[in-house]
Amino acid sequence: MREFKRLTPYKEAFELMLNDLREIGGVEEVPLDEAYGRVLAEDVVSPIDSPPFDRSAVDGYAVRAEDTFQAREYHPIGLEVIDEITAGMESGKEVTSGKAVKLMTGNKMPKGANAVIMQEMVKREGDRIYVLRPVAPGQNVASAGEDVKKGEVVLRKGQILRPQEVSLLKSIGFKSVKVKRKPRVGIIITGDELIEEFDEEALKAGKILESNSALLKGLVRQYFGEPVFYGVIPDNEEKIKAAIEKAKAENDLVLVTGGSAFGDKDFAHRFVRLLFHGTTIKPGRPIGYGERVFIMSGYPVAVFVQFYLYVKHALAKLVGAKNYEIRVYAKLAERVSSQLGRHEFIKVWYENGVARPIKKKGSGIISSLVKSNGYIVIPEDSEGYLKGETVEVVLY
């Protein structure tokens, strides 16, 4: 097998890839129930104040704060309760000097009241309450627009819609939202050794159950895309060429696993004008990219690494997604080493501020992915990190 004449440094390859891609067109308006995980296509401006009126932040009594200034436990102030309302109701009474309205959390403040005293801070006797402590103007009151003001830009284009963003949209009256079209991502799996269904005899004879399609379908969905599976293609030059050409014509991005090295049956890289082929990452060194096509390794762990170091960023570029990574700092539980010139992907389990490297290694050890929830990177100019050193972890 021929070796690579030159390995492209990771950052150089990364920039070549990103500069080759452009954000795709296409906007969809979807109901809020279908918006989770989608990428916002435009800024969102609130059409209303939220809350739309001054409201009580506690269960208690709406009062004029100045009526309570002299209240003490040893000198309670008596007020007349002129109305009582429950959730969703509005009082038609005005709170004047010496008066109070009983209300619940979220109720609109009655006219004339400027504070709410918690019900635990009063004694009730018939239609009168005795205030034991003073309240200040505005105390226990959520002002109109306290959460969101009318005309405020509440969400920005490129934002990924999590449950909390969808909740905010609903709270200001939206029923639907405009999001970026999902990029179509063609997935082609190659290899004579692969089978798609369990067959004990075939496995004994040296075949392998194919799993890269399940891995890539899930990752593509997780990172904004719509996977389109073209099946498992045998190591046949014409069939692989035809599959790649078809996928290129029908998708925004294409992922091909297998055929990225220089073996006699590594055909895939021959049918794409590659901007780079072979980079300094480990694992996954043989990756190639060009014409919106990634030629990836055949081993699942290498495919996973190649996806996280390259493909997820390509998908984010296609939809204009922002802040799509979660990064945290952690203390390293043990020393990790690398060779100069490698951009090494180290799987870790992050918990309680500590990152523990996963000891199981090998590009075919899928269980090592299951036992990790993030990764750290050792760049080309470093030989590793010491135990107890602070490192940046990218969670997945």
Cβ-proximal residues to 144 (8 Å cutoff; 6+ apart), any chain: 49, 51, 52, 53, 54
pLDDT at position 147 is: 95
User: Has residue 39 got a pLDDT over 60?
Assistant: yes
d(CA 146, CA 148): 6
- Compute the distance between CA of residue 286 and CA of residue 363 in angstroms, rounded to an integer: 12
Q: Note the Cα 242 to chain centre separation in Å.
A: 35
pLDDT in tens, 299-312: 999 999 999 999 99
Residue 262: pLDDT band with limits 50, 70, 90: low
From CA 18, how far away is CA 27, in angstroms rounded? 22
Q: Is the pLDDT of residue 16 over 50?
A: yes
Q: Where are the domains of the chain?
A: 10-25+182-319, 27-51+158-180, 55-142, 326-395
Query: In sequence order, what DSSP letters do the residues of 282-325 get, joined into one string?
Result: ES-TT-EEETTEEEE-SSHHHHHHHIIIIIHHHHHHHHT--S--
Cβ–Cβ contacts within 10 Å for residue 13, how many?
A: 24
CATH: 3.40.50.2300, 2.40.340.10, 3.90.79.10, 3.10.20.340. Which one for 326-395? 2.40.340.10
Cis? peptide before 283, omega within 30° of 0: yes
pLDDT class of 171 with cuts at 50, 70, 90: very high
Superfamily of domain 10-25+182-319: MoaB/Mog-like domain (3.40.980.10)
Task: Please tell me the predicted confidence (pLDDT) of residue 1.
Answer: 43
Omega within 30 of 0 (cis) for the link into 134:
no
CATH number of 55-142: 2.170.190.11
Provide the token pair at 63. Answer: 């009062």
Q: Closest Cα to residue 266, out of 251, 287, 246?
A: 287
pLDDT tens digits for range 41-57: 999 999 999 999 999 99
The yes-or-no answer to whether 27-51+158-180 and 55-142 have a common fold is: no
156's tokens: 């920005």
pLDDT in tens, 196-221: 889 888 888 988 999 999 999 999 99
How far is Cα 349 from Cα 138, in angstroms, rounded to an integer? 47
48-106 tens-digit pLDDT: 999 999 999 999 999 999 999 999 999 999 999 999 999 999 999 999 999 999 999 99
pLDDT recorded at residue 77: 98
> Which CATH fold would you assign to the domain 27-51+158-180?
Molybdopterin biosynthesis moea protein, domain 2 (3.90.105)
